[in-house]
Structure 1
């Protein structure tokens, strides 16, 4: 990649602030004196200063912004670029928004955007994105060239890792200490693993926030987040358990939101080893599962049953014609019999003297162990002997990535960038990061065409076909969609949950404590 630029950048301009004489306390801890904020949020996730290393919270809080935003239909939308054009198969042009100021007082121009984007392109986070060059054409225009035709480029440039940072935020070694960006809020102070304080960016080009200051507090215990909200110590509590919804809705001074987000819970099979190298056995699991029972008994009816990777209520990239998710144990039994797994008088299945015993591995989050126990019972009804093993997430990933396994129960966001090319990471024979070993030439062909085509309808046709094939051949079995539970004080107005959770929309909120 070339690193030439048409503009000279002063990398050590004096740091300014929109609060006049108040300096940004970005370097370290807060004072011991109690501090207040106009709005207080509690969530389980620990923010990170660097967008390339868990910096999604900075985006959600309104500190960082990218060239491309994500609208409330889960599609790419103007962000720091007001428009973009595909000049040919490989070249794209992005027109920068005028009048944008970084939190340090400097203006956003193409040279600054290029410096930030090149850091992104060189990062491991973008290793699979085929960007070849990023260049400033003039002060307000950035051109990006890809190695191959790549339609999802705008979507990838909406990712948290692609936010634009001031050149002064990038240290000589490429590290980030002060995440200086362009959002409606600027970082005031950062206490690692504890809390982040942000202040209004008074020179913001867009909607001016009503809050002068916001505090995000890391509260990893669900009950503690709830109590802090109920006790008036928070105005917003995020990622609460489904089982709290009924009780919270019964409280007059609390509002509850349960928006569906593009995330699924699913089983991934090792399609290269017995018994799940046989499509009929995988499909038997599909039909044996009672998804309605799972969502009602474990997920309190908040989440919905699902069969495909995308939800039609979130995006039209979802294939609306996939077969329904009704349980059909008799069909499951028939498929197992066809595959040679015969049942004895106790409905225990075996083949060549070996019982149909399998292990599902999972991790302790998103109700997965409880779902695993229910799957154990449902699959036993058709002849599977299922053992559930729960371990740390990283240990699970290491295990299924290195050794043969039967299946693992996990959860993924399916539109972490708003393009169906996410299906390539799920099902392409060489690009997939799911450990299923699944290969289908037609699926590969459709996914590769989808990456190249410009016309949305033509792309839609291909991605719909991919979804039909993978549901039928079942390298994974999708179980449920996912709803995020958020509760606010009743005096909070203007909150609209974002479908991909890329932003909390704090600049649009108001709070009346009376």
Structure 2
């Protein structure tokens, strides 16, 4: 009886959230639907939702073209040796609780961020302090991507009263054009226009965010008009939504790549020749045309063209080549057995591939990869789990293969991401696993210290190493599919997925 009651309550909540939800004042409330849950007010874990909903802001902001511009910092100076950075905070900025933004509040917020796991811990920090009315960051050595770090959601600046005595965020008070009014993890976040915002005032009064894992439910929300913006649509629903008269579907390129993450110390995967063979067995064109349904989205390298410094223009294509793949595996001692599976020393080449349903196309791509590698003689067992299972399996060493969609623009400069990936041989949660390269580390270190125009040349060298040794196998470049109700005007899209830019939108009269 108790179990049945729980099921009824769960279904009722699901129906309310994803099928029967209606804004209280729909005329001036914009409803956004997306696949990802949030669990807290902790910026190191869930800060992305608070910057996307324009509750919290950082010292700097990444623009759509990848340039970094000042946000809460009005200006900054850097010493000639690159070790002392001075940041002037913008005058007249108020937190949602009414307190003024000061250099002291910036230092306090960043100090709390330093106590959490996150990108800020990557910088070679020597000292963080206030000097007059200026925030000062002193470094032990030059660090080129510092501004990119300071534009990350985990470094957003919050009011002092947002934190408890242990530095935990218990009442998020940011500086954005919207303030949080209802925080109901893991599915619901409502924000209300902040009338004392320092910048241009939003037109839309209320914005509601609702999490919905099932792509079919999100598509129904879009089609019925229950949601104004729906992010991360299932490619299979695009044709249906395109036929709807009340909305428009936008297909937008973002610096995210669908890729295979491998345990590079696994006895089957510890050779670059084996990894190259698995890559050659993939039919990327078929995945691009029939699953993702985005023309020319095949990925022949990790970094998409939008990250031009890192993208190899003359890289070989992503054409499938089974004979060459078979030849490479044969050189590693693999032979087909009577069941047409590869076998070596009495072991069959079989692996478990983990993926997650938050991005609906991943499970379909995983099934396609399973079939394509079967043609090569590799047996793949697909396991669909929560996205959190992948970092967990990485850390406990049980991960063999994973299919993920990795955003190389989480920090606008991929250098900061790669530095985190390569900090330890074990790798990062979403980067390479159990792989390192002394040559790559040398190049990245040179890039950190570079103060001249050698950055692009070094980035290209780094990309060549990653393409050759293939500790991660690229599959397709990701395209964000967003449905926009026709009542929403001036729709804006952030390819770096840091900001929904709702404050720039308005409703048709």
Could you tell me the TM-score, scaled by structure 1's length? 0.86
Residue of structure 2 equivalent to 1:424: 419
CA contact (8 A) 2:60 2:73 kept: yes
Tell me which protein shows more helix as a share of its residues: 2
State the distance in 2 between where 1:46 and 1:474 align: 31
| Residue 447 of structure 2 corresponds to residue 453 of structure 1 | no
The answer for the alignment partner of 2:11 in structure 1 is none
- Do residues 81 (structure 1) and 73 (structure 2) align? yes
Instruction: Out of 296-305 and 499-508, give the one that drifted further.
Output: 296-305
Corresponding position of 1:18: none
User: Is the CA contact 2:302–2:467 (under 8 Å) kept in the aligned structure 1?
Assistant: no
* CA distance in 2: counterparts of 1:401 and 1:483, whole angstroms: 29
1:438 and 1:454 mapped to 2: Cα distance? Answer: 29
1:443 counterpart (434, 440, 445): 440
Q: Match of 2:87, SS?
A: strand
- 2:501 corresponds to 1:505: yes
Check if 1:67 corresponds to 2:59: yes
Cα offsets for 1:122-169 (capped at 9, x unmatched) = 222244333232222222x21112233221111111111111111222
Contact 1:63-1:181 within 8 A present in 2 as well: yes
Candidates 199, 220, 223, aligned match of 1:206: 199
Is 1:94 the counterpart of 2:87? The answer is: yes
Asked whether the 8 Å contact 2:60–2:147 carries over to 1, the reply is yes
Map residues 43-58 of structure 1 onto 2, 5 A cutoff.
Answer: 43-47=34-38, 48-58=40-50
Helix, strand or coil for the counterpart of 2:376? coil
**Matched residues in 1 for 2:425 and 2:64: separation?**
32
Q: State yes or no: 1:475 paired with 2:471.
A: yes
Paired position in structure 2 for 1:26: none
Which residue in the other structure is 1:173 paired with?
Answer: 166
- Which has the larger displacement, 333-342 or 480-489? 333-342
1:432-481 Cα deviation digits (max 9, x unpaired): 314532222111111121222233x3122112111111111111211111
Deviation of the 1:34 alpha carbon: 7.6
Deviation, structure 1 residue 239? 2.2
Task: Give, in angstroms, the shift of residue 404 of structure 1.
Answer: 5.8
Aligned equivalents of 2:179 and 2:460: distance in 1? 41
Cα contact 2:159–2:174 (8 A) shared by 1: yes
Query: Residue 43 of structure 2 aligns to a residue in which SS?
Result: coil
- Residues 190-230 of structure 1, C-alpha deviation per residue, up to 9 Å, x if partnerless? 33334333222222222221122222233443333333333
SS in 1 for 2:77: strand
How do 1:130-169 residues align onto structure 2 when only pairs under 5 Å count?
130-139=124-133, 141-169=134-162
How far apart are the structure 1 equivalents of 2:231 and 2:78?
38
Secondary structure of residue in 2 paired with 1:59: helix
Contact 2:274 2:328 in 1 (8 A): yes
1:415 to 402, 409, 420: 409
1:225–1:369 Cα change, 3 Å: closer
Which of residues 368, 372, 379 in structure 2 aligns to 1:374? 368
Unaligned runs of 5+ in 1: 1-32
Q: Contact between 1:268 and 1:477, CA under 8 Å: does it hold in 2?
A: yes
Once residues 299 and 252 of structure 1 are traced to their aligned partners in structure 2, the CA distance between those partners, rounded to angstroms, is 23
CA contact (8 A) 1:401 1:435 kept: no
Label 1:397 to 1:41 Cα distance change in 2 as closer, same or farther (>3 A).
Answer: closer
CA distance in 1, matches of 2:208, 2:366: 37
1:351-382 deviation line (CA, Å, top 9, x unaligned): 44544334433334433332222222222323
Instruction: Tell me the SS of whatever aligns to 1:41.
Output: strand
Structure 1 residues 228 and 351, CA gap change in structure 2 (3 angstroms): closer
Greater CA deviation, 105-114 or 283-292? 105-114
In structure 2, C-alpha distance between the alignment counterparts of 1:319 and 1:325, rounded to whole Å: 13
Secondary structure of 2:122 counterpart: coil
What is the CA-CA distance between 1:343 and the residue it aligns to?
4.4
Query: What count of residue pairs does the alignment treat as equivalent?
Result: 479
CA gap of 1:175–1:345, structure 2 versus 1, over 3 A, is: closer
State the alpha-carbon separation in 1 of the partners of residues 384 and 292 from structure 2: 19
In structure 2, the CA distance between the partners of 1:80 and 1:400, relative to structure 1 (3 Å rule), is closer
> Which residue, out of 22, 25, 29, partners 1:36?
25
The answer to whether structure 1 residue 492 and structure 2 residue 484 are counterparts is no
Aligned to 1:108: 101
Equivalent position SS for 1:324: coil
> 2:346 and 2:167 mapped to 1: Cα distance?
60
In the alignment, the residues of structure 2 paired with residue 359 and residue 199 of structure 1 have an alpha-carbon distance, to the nearest angstrom, of 45
Cα 1:425/1:296, change in 2 over 3 Å: farther
Q: 2:275 is matched with which residue?
A: 282
Q: CA RMSD in A?
A: 2.5
- Of residues 64-73 and 278-287 in structure 1, the stretch that sits farther from structure 2 once superposed is 278-287
Partner of 1:399: 393
CA distance in 1, matches of 2:106, 2:423: 32
- Report if aligned partners of 1:101, 1:182 keep a CA contact under 8 Å in 2: yes
Q: Is the CA contact 2:36–2:213 (under 8 Å) kept in the aligned structure 1?
A: yes
